[in-house]
Chain A
Amino acid sequence: MFYYLRRIFLLVITVALVSVITFAVFQILPGDPVRTMLGTEADETQIENLRNELGLNRPLYQQYFDWIGGLFTGDLGNSIRFSMPVSDLLMERLPVTLSVASMALVIVVLVALPLGIFVARRQNKVSDVVLSSVTQLGMAIPSFWLGMILILYIGMNVDFFRINGYIPWSESIKGALSTLVLPALTIAIPQIAVKFRYVRTAILEQMELDYVRTIRSKGLPEKLIVYKHILKNALIPILTIFGLITAEVVAGTIIVEQVFALPGVGQLLITSISYRDFPLVQGIVMYITITVVLINFIVDMLYSVIDPRIRLR
């Protein structure tokens, strides 16, 4: 019980720290949200009016405490740039980002897991060498260049795909897929490259353990050994990896949304930073951090269920 409480406490601390870091960065960030928004045509009267109206003439720490106060009532405040609640903006953009991210994650799992097992079973064979070279290459490609290449060679040639914009699931499932698959692939490919190696290593490590030798000596078919015994014991390291991907996949969406012009949270984040829209940036950063931290937490919890010894550490 103490273990869980401690974990939850640390989780809250992490989120709070991130919020403070964002706030600290904004303290020293040059540029003014009102001027940025109104542009060259604004006169000083309009600028001053809007600053007052938005409460931007209050000291920043006060704005921050008000923001925290609002948080407890579930109010993320209003965006400066779009003069509407941050939560509404997030709700509008989240489906896009979550769709891409979860699709990427599913692709990674569906490809990396079998691939890792496959390669582990054929250790030292040509396929291993070939695959690990391909892997290294996959890791090294900058994701936005990969996106451009997918646009050029797949998006432009296969009618099914649209290379920019987003169609909501509610409108057309086929339409949604046509806009989401390429961005998801762009995120997934480098991740597959990294992660299948971890799967391979985890399984190889298990294969060398005594219990496998014992089972093997009993004459069980190799397939059964791998799927029934090794995989289950390799689950912890593999889980860790997939916990780690989440953060990278979420970060990956920021770049990929630019390449494919997807109206997601990442695009909103970049806009909000350039407009110095403090409430919006805080809202988005909080959402991203909480997602990442929460998934890591879930993964941690799963470990301790699988292997109770972990709780003691």
Chain B
Amino acid sequence: MQKYKKNINLLLGAGILLLFFGMMVVSYFYTPYDVNSMDIPNKLQEPSKTHIFGTDEFGRDIFSRILKGSQTAFIVGLLTVAIGAFFGVLIGGIAGYAGGLLDEVFMRIMDALMAFPGIILALMLVAVFGPGIINTSIALGIIAIPSIARVTRSGFVQQKESEYVTAAKLIGVKPYKIMFKHILPNISSQIIVALSIAFAIAMLAEAALSYLGLGVQPPDPSWGRMLKDAQSFLISSPWYTYAPGGAITLLVLGLYLLSNAIRDIMDPRSK
């Protein structure tokens, strides 16, 4: 039963992610309508055969924009994760491996960053960098650092006492080699789980920022931005929110399922 469920998580998660990945690839070559071309007389049309998700307030095809929006989602998600992973693993690794004062200082800064609700920091950072896809990703990447650093650090703390590390030290392997060639591969599953969760959180945070009017800016289609626009028409055109809301939820769901599956597979203790 458990094994079966695990497979379902993996299948569903990977399936959803592949679906969106496919959408993203397709959207580079083809969308049913031009994503930005307007048809104002046909604005806010309910879903129909010609526009399966309806049209927005400029008469643009929502389905095409959802497709194109997957590009934004992947760019923001991957960039955020890349920034978070690079600095998170570096900081966490050094803190965990070196220990002592360095560890204390790094981790206190991480604590402070974590005590600061992420969305506030994101708001302020976006105000500093200015909105836009890249800037939003940088802001979200910074916010992703502490949690990744923590996971990495605890992995390093556990591993650095292990025999293979002691052995490597004895034969004079350089510290950075021990850290990144020997320890890192051993804790990669924990980090991958942390990264996929960071991806999911980045998606939700991007949506939240765009909802607050920061984040990704027009005309780049972003699902969060579309939801914000849709809120103005919540009562008169409630269907407008379904496509972008559903897209975010589904992608985040896929990421969570996948991270659970990886954790279950990699960590035999949790069966």
Contact = CB atoms under 8 A, between A and B. Distances in A.
Q: Do chains A and B stick together as partners?
A: yes
A42 interface: no
A172 interface: no
B249 A145 contact: yes
B204 A136 contact: no
Contacts of A285: 116, 120
A141 interface: yes
Interface in B54-107: none
Interface stretch (A24-32, A176-184, A211-219, A302-310): A24-32
Contact of B211 (A13, A14, A258, A289): A258
B118 A255 contact: no
Contact of A254 (B114, B119, B256): B119
A285 B112 CA distance: 12
Contacts of A110: none
Interface residues of A, number: 49
Contacts of A28: 128
Contact of B119 (A18, A149, A255): A255
Interface in A277-296: 281, 285, 288-289, 292-293, 296
Contacts, number: 129
A292 B117 contact: yes
B59 to A, nearest CB: 22
Given A142-B227, A258-B211, A25 B124 contact: yes
B212 interface: yes
B115 A289 contact: yes
Contacts of B117: 247-248, 250-251, 254, 288, 292
A148 interface: yes
Interface string B1-16: 1100100000000000
B208 A255 contact: yes
Given A129-B5, A142-B224, A29 B124 contact: yes
B127 A29 contact: yes
Given A142-B227, A293-B115, A251 B1 contact: no
Contacts of A31: 127
A71 interface: no
Contacts of A141: 245, 248-249, 252
Which size bracket describes the interface of B in this complex?
35 or more
Contact of B108 (A10, A137, A139, A259): A10
Interface in A225-274: 247-248, 250-251, 254-255, 258-259, 269-270, 273-274
Contact of B252 (A18, A139, A274): A139
A255 B249 contact: no
Nearest to A269: B120
B224 A18 contact: no
Contacts of A259: 231
Interface in A167-197: none
Q: Which of the listed residues A14, A25, A140, A156 has the most CB atoms from chain B within 10 Å of its own CB?
A: A140
Nearest to A276: B127
B108 A17 contact: yes
A255 B213 CA distance: 12
Given A10-B111, A17-B108, 14 more contacts: A13-B112, A15-B115, A21-B116, A124-B2, A136-B253, A140-B200, A142-B204, A142-B211, A148-B231, A247-B115, A251-B119, A255-B212, A292-B115, A293-B115
12 contacts: A15-B115, A25-B127, A26-B124, A29-B128, A140-B253, A142-B224, A142-B227, A247-B115, A248-B117, A254-B120, A258-B211, A281-B124
6 A-B pairs closest in CB distance: A251-B117, A17-B112, A140-B252, A140-B253, A145-B245, A142-B207
